[in-house]
Amino acid sequence: MARRPRGPHEPRPSVTARRARERRIPYGVAPRRALGRRSLATQVFVLQVAVVLLLVVAAVVALVLQVRHDGTEEARNRSLAVAESFANSPGMLEALASPDPTTILQPRAEAARKAADMDFIVVMNPEGIRYTHPKPDRIGKKFVGTIAPAQEGGTVVEDIDGTIGRLVQAVVPVKSPYGQVVGLVSAGITTESVGGTVDRQLPLVLVTAGAALILATGGTALVSRRLMRQTHGLGPREMTRMYEHHDAVLHAVREGVLIVDGDGRLMLANDEAHRLLDLPQNAEGRYVAALGLDAGTADLLASGRVVTDEVRLVGDKLLAINQRPTQLAGGPSGSVATLRDSTELRALSGRADEARERLDILYAAGVGIGTDLDVTRTAEELADLAMPRFADFVTVDLFDSVVKGEEPEPGSALRRTASTGVRKGAPLYAVGEPLKFVDSAPQARSLAEGRAVLESRLDVSPGWRAQDLERTEQVMEFGIHSLITVPVRAGTLLLGVVSFWRSERPEPFDSDEVALAEELVARAAVTIDNARRYTREHKMAETLQRSLLPRTLPAQSALDIAYRYLPAQAGVGGDWFDVLPLSGARVALVVGDVVGHGLLAAATMGRLRTAVHNFSALDLAPEELLGLLDELVNRIDQEDESAAPVTGATCLYAIYDPVSRRCTMARAGHPPPAIVHPDGRVEFADVPPGLPLGLGGLPSFETVELELPEGSRLVLYTDGLVESRDRDIDSGLDLLREALADAPDEPEPTCRAVLKSLLPARQNDDIALIVARTRALGPDRVAEWEVPMDPAEVARVRAAVARRLADWGLEDLSFTTELILSELVTNAIRYGGAPVRVRLLRDRSLICEVSDASSTSPHLRYAAMTDEGGRGLFLVAQLSERWGTRYSSVGKVIWAEQPLPADRC
């Protein structure tokens, strides 16, 4: 019968079908014969069926045993629980004590038995005579079972064979309130009643076993079919032909293949292996050691050890060898090795590795140089990055002005800013040493020409040797032999020069490495210039800020004060503080913080400090002063809309009076002050926080007045002390409390202790700290009188003041003091309101104060020659060093200060 030709889109028959057609075997019979030859599939099938059946039987047996055990345990637990519950049920003792217990207990027992699904519940007397039973004919008869332990007050649970089958019964006593056994209760249930799980689960187990058998049969059929498909039904002739094809391919590939047996004898070598190893024609069958190979290669091939891409030089070829033992796959002992000529690939790989290494260096320069806005640190990062990946020694020389943050001055002296190397003791110039290179030196040529200079061999470089003949000789003796110098250029600015030295590697620098050095320095130059600009601005801002802060504290007697101001490392901020003497021996403490950094924050801080100075001269209450300061900040924001607003400035203003030992304070969004009492107790003053300055709207500042014992320490600070990136303000306040509790009593040691405990490793914000220990102006230095509203009383006050001045040894001030008091008291009586009081304070000066209940403010005026009055305040101003008016909640105080004699200060 002629074969029908295959159409163009008809699929090709499978390999099994073609082989069956060649053997004249009908299609479809071949798979069945192949399956018959695969006896392994049948064995696997039988084994799997046997395993599944065994598992099913084991599961059924285990299930029956487990259910039986569980049924018995369940019966024991239920019997005991029902017996104890019924024995302790309400009315049990009364029923047992009644004339006819059966009439009462029989209905209860039956109801409980049915509710608990028990086979029986029996109540009996202590001798075991039944009162109840499911079968009434057994009432009054002796209970069958062990009751002796229950008669003694214990419980009994036992398994017995009863008339209703295998059962479990429990016997418990019924005790009177005095512990006497007055009856017994028994509850029982058959294990058959508890069981039944096997009957419910056995069908599920059988169904699962049937499903497992079906899956095992299907899996075995799939395995058999897969084996047949993998071999394609090939016979011996087909396998031989396949081997011949494989042999042809083996000798045609461009990779050498060697097979060596366990004795080190070469069993097979393809044509490429003959060419690469230059093997003789009769190499097969001979020992590898006798093939004329070098000892290392011969030992490797004969050893059979596992190697991966081990490179060996064989003749003029660089071979990559891979070797694996053949017995790993269940074959005979020996090894198979493949050889690949990698001479050209190795050269290309070397160049690729070099290029990749250079890219890695440049990438590391991009992310590793300039992490800190510090010129010296940036130069050190450049040196550390290039050593030893590119050079063995690296030196960075910058102009002095660059290190200081100023514009570079070409032609001026350089200074070694950074130096590093693979070894110590190199005879190069030390860090910090000023340098002046001769014109012929490579560094000077780089600076003059603005390009990199390569000195491949320093021993033949007269220009470099002319720098310092003795030192250059020591450099070469140290092993340094090659040099690249690159100018540090940022735009049109020339900042310095970088020198790369080589000593460990024998080959000198080449032109390709010059390009890498230029690129590396170019990237670093930008960060160095940025650091220079930042240093300049930082110094300008810090100089401005320090010029605006108090350089010395004013003389006063109310407080012992120590302070610290630490500018931020990252940039100058707007923190500030001040100590302001007020009238009446009082002292004002102020601390504030302008949010932000830089010149703008420092300038704003100066304006606020000046405003506080001016406002404090008015003797305002703290909340009034903060209100005026808030208005000032709002006006500053409105004046320059292009600049960033000052919103966020905080301030704390406190006034301490040494006479009354009272401190009044208010704050605008500032951290609360800490108070250290003389006994060491630390607390934070409960001052309403208020809003930061400049937020707009109505100011909401409140004043708090506290009485501080003499020797108390008042601690004012800015948030940079207690808050940082890794510490919130609550944790900082806790640390401050602990530091103050352990600090000495003196203000100066307290400052040191606080900074030691709270100063962060990386200070990102300014820190201002004031520690003020309070003093008191004693009663012996204060005199006070109340003056009736009668001008005749002025003379009495003058006399009393003269006596007190005599007691203080200040008779020389009596005349001027009497004149001042006469004018002030007369004006208070004439124009003021009652009560009028006079107070005399002896502090660093003599202070006279006259207070009245009127809020009218006196004004100094110059009287004409014809005027009869108007010269009182003029005389006061002429006779006193300072004078002024302050207001209180009940009126005003007019005060005047006179300097004490030099021997009385």
SS3 readout for 223-241: HHHHHHHHHCCCCHHHHHH
Other Cβ atoms less than 10 A from the Cβ of 632: the count is 20
pLDDT for 236 beyond 80: no
pLDDT for 224 beyond 90: no
pLDDT for 560 beyond 70: yes
Distance CA 850, CA 872 (A): 14
Which carries the bigger pLDDT value, residue 186 or residue 569? 186
> For residue 586, which phi and psi values (nearest 5 degrees)?
-80, 160
The Cβ-side half-sphere exposure at 815, using a 13 Å CA radius, reads 2
Q: Which amino acid is at 729?
A: I
Amino acid 177: pLDDT: 86
Amino acid 140: pLDDT: 86
Of 14-18, 97-101, 674-678, where does mean pLDDT reach its minimum?
14-18
Amino acid 271: pLDDT: 84
* Strand 482-490 with 493-502, pairing: antiparallel
Q: How far is CA 492 from CA 439, 488, 489, 523, 530, in A?
A: 21, 10, 7, 15, 14
Provide the β-strand partners of residue 74. Answer: none
Tokens describing residue 290 = 């006798």
Amino acid 631: pLDDT: 87
pLDDT for 848 beyond 80: yes
Which carries the bigger pLDDT value, residue 36 or residue 69? 69
Amino acid 28: pLDDT: 43
pTM for the model? 0.52
> For residue 333, which phi and psi values (nearest 5 degrees)?
-65, 145
Is 884 in contact with 619 (CB distance < 8 Å)? yes
Q: Exposure of 62 by Cβ count < 10 A (0-12 exposed, 13-18 middle, 19+ buried)?
A: exposed
Amino acid 601: pLDDT: 76
Distance CA 103, CA 87 (A): 17
What are 679-684's contacts with CB under 8 Å, separation 24+? 680/741, 682/737, 682/740, 682/741, 684/733, 684/737
Distance CA 218, CA 863 (A): 128
Amino acid 587: pLDDT: 96
Distance CA 837, CA 568 (A): 50
Q: Choose among 576, 579, 591, 584: nearest CA to 555.
A: 579
Q: Per-residue pLDDT averaged across 354-371, rounded?
A: 70
Each residue of 62-81: pLDDT tens digit?
Answer: 766 776 677 677 778 888 88
Which carries the bigger pLDDT value, residue 55 or residue 302? 302
Distance CA 188, CA 144 (A): 12
> For residue 158, which phi and psi values (nearest 5 degrees)?
-145, 155
Q: Per-residue pLDDT averaged across 657-662, rounded?
A: 94
pLDDT for 39 beyond 90: no
- Where does the pLDDT of residue 804 fall: very low under 50, low under 70, confident under 90, or very high at 90 and above? very high
Of 32-36, 200-204, 378-382, 460-464, where does mean pLDDT reach its minimum?
32-36
Provide the β-strand partners of residue 390. Answer: none
Which carries the bigger pLDDT value, residue 543 or residue 710? 710
Close Cβ partners of 456 (under 8 Å, ≥ 6 residues apart): 482, 508, 509, 510
Amino acid 87: pLDDT: 84
Amino acid 398: pLDDT: 93
Of 17-26, 74-83, 154-163, 746-755, where does mean pLDDT reach its minimum?
17-26
Percent of the chain with pLDDT over 70: 81
- Where does the pLDDT of residue 244 fall: very low under 50, low under 70, confident under 90, or very high at 90 and above? confident
Q: Exposure of 223 by Cβ count < 10 A (0-12 exposed, 13-18 middle, 19+ buried)?
A: middle
Of 89-93, 223-227, 261-265, 893-897, where does mean pLDDT reach its minimum?
223-227
Amino acid 45: pLDDT: 61
Highest mean pLDDT, choosing among 19-33, 147-161, 734-748, 752-766: 734-748
Which carries the bigger pLDDT value, residue 236 or residue 750? 750
Each residue of 257-289: pLDDT tens digit?
Answer: 888 888 888 888 888 888 888 888 888 888 888
pLDDT for 859 beyond 70: no
One-letter-per-residue 3-state SS of 550-619:
CCCCCCCCCEEEEEEEECCCCCCEEEEEEEEECCCCCEEEEEEEEEEECHHHHHHHHHHHHHHHHHHCCC
Residue-by-residue DSSP string for 770-795 = EEEEE----GGGEEEEEE-S-TTHHH
Percent of the chain with pLDDT over 90: 26
Amino acid 1: pLDDT: 40
- The per-residue b/e assignment along 762-797, b for 16 or more CB within 10 angstroms, e otherwise, is ebebbbbbbbbbbbbbeeebbbebebeeeeebbeeb
Give the mean pLDDT of the chain.
81
Amino acid 33: pLDDT: 44
Distance CA 850, CA 610 (A): 29
Each residue of 434-454: pLDDT tens digit?
Answer: 998 999 999 999 999 989 999
Amino acid 221: pLDDT: 66
- Determine if residue 520 is left, alpha or beta; phi over 0 gives left, psi from -120 to 50 gives alpha, anything else beta: alpha
Q: Per-residue pLDDT averaged across 601-624, rounded?
A: 87
Q: Exposure of 383 by Cβ count < 10 A (0-12 exposed, 13-18 middle, 19+ buried)?
A: buried
Tokens describing residue 632 = 């000032």
Amino acid 317: pLDDT: 78
pLDDT for 35 beyond 60: no
Amino acid 331: pLDDT: 61
- Where does the pLDDT of residue 498 fall: very low under 50, low under 70, confident under 90, or very high at 90 and above? very high
Q: Per-residue pLDDT averaged across 306-325, rounded?
A: 83
pLDDT for 358 beyond 90: no
Q: Per-residue pLDDT averaged across 117-132, rounded?
A: 88
Amino acid 743: pLDDT: 92
Each residue of 503-536: pLDDT tens digit?
Answer: 988 889 988 889 888 888 988 888 888 888 888 8
Q: Which amino acid is at 481?
A: H
Provide the β-strand partners of residue 31. Answer: none
Amino acid 713: pLDDT: 96
- Where does the pLDDT of residue 30 fall: very low under 50, low under 70, confident under 90, or very high at 90 and above? very low
Q: Which helix (H) or strand (E) holds 492?
A: none
Is 113 in contact with 123 (CB distance < 8 Å)? no
